[in-house]
Amino acid sequence: MITFRGFLVAVVGLLPAFALAGLFVGLGEMLGLPEALVGWGCFLILFGVPPAIYYLVEKAHERKREEVLRAEGFARVEKGDDDLRRDLEVFPGSSMHTRGGIRNHFKSRRDGAELSVFDFHFARVPNMPRCIALLFTVQPKLSLIFVRLRTQTAVLFRSPHMNLPQFFLRVRRVVQKEGRLLPCSGEEVPMPPEFSREYSLRSVDPQRVRDVFSPEVTSHLLDHRRFQIEGVGDTLIVCRPGRLPEAKKIKPFLDEVLALLGLFEAAARRD
């Protein structure tokens, strides 16, 4: 999936593509090549060089991120992600449905807990009347105008020491924009005004979830902002919606998430 950074790389890649196309035209005239051959050559250069540059830059970026994660004790999951997809299915409010794509999956174990770090991407179409949505079956290309792509890095945490009630936490202003991503998993949980202004918290067990959101947890969330979190049983999943950290930012992101997970684990320890 093309990130904003990748899009800029592809645009910048047009400059060497135009230069190479110009050189190819000059070489073709010098050698007396047929015009059709020169035209096809220019076409392949202009439409082939930017994607190639994008691919190389993205691969270099992924290698740097992998080096950081390996230094933090994570190992790449080389084949399959069926176990991870099953883990995601327990979260009814999650935007990470099994139809999305999982990439760059890494796993680690710490103090008996399992950690997975992965990139997830999917597409969203905004709410619209059914009569308009039917147009997409007649003319699928229209969907390109409305589809919004989402890419984010998520951390899945499973600890035998936790016993969480089911809950769904999202930044409030993001909830208002996402429409159909609102979960059908309980009611809004009353929280202190400062916290409720920033976050929407929903749960099927409001009393228990209020106990889990200890003052230490809420303070951490207010200090760092923009976390989306879901929890149930012994599992938590944490991300920043639409954020794919660069290599230099992946360690600070992990440090913030691991500190938060430690606070949740302490607040939700099994009896």
The number of domains in the chain is 2
Examine the domain organization and report whether 65 and 182 are in the same domain: no
Asked if residue 191 and residue 59 are part of one domain, the reply reads: no
18 and 44 inside one domain: yes
Q: Are residues 156 and 46 in the same domain?
A: no
User: Based on the domain organization, do 82 and 212 belong to the same domain?
Assistant: yes
Q: Domain check: are 38 and 88 in the same one?
A: no
Tens digit of pLDDT at every position of the chain (271 positions) = 445 555 565 666 677 777 888 888 888 878 888 888 888 888 888 778 777 777 777 778 788 888 888 888 898 887 666 777 777 777 765 555 545 577 888 999 887 888 888 887 655 545 555 555 555 444 444 444 444 455 678 888 988 888 888 888 888 765 433 434 444 457 888 898 999 888 889 888 888 888 889 899 999 899 877 788 888 888 898 888 777 787 888 888 888 888 888 888 888 775 4
Q: Is 183 in the same domain as 240? A: yes
Q: Are residues 224 and 243 located together in one domain of the fold?
A: yes
Residue 262 resides in a domain: yes
**What is the distance between the alpha carbons of residues 105 and 95, in angstroms, rounded to a whole number?**
18
**Residue 183 has what pLDDT?**
45
Lookup: tokens for 79: 């084949």
Q: How would DSSP label each residue in 42-75?
A: HHHHHHHHHHHHHHHHHHHHHHHHHHHHHHTT-E
Separation CA 69–CA 187 (nearest Å): 37
Residue 45 is part of which domain span?
4-69
Residues 100 and 60 in one domain: no
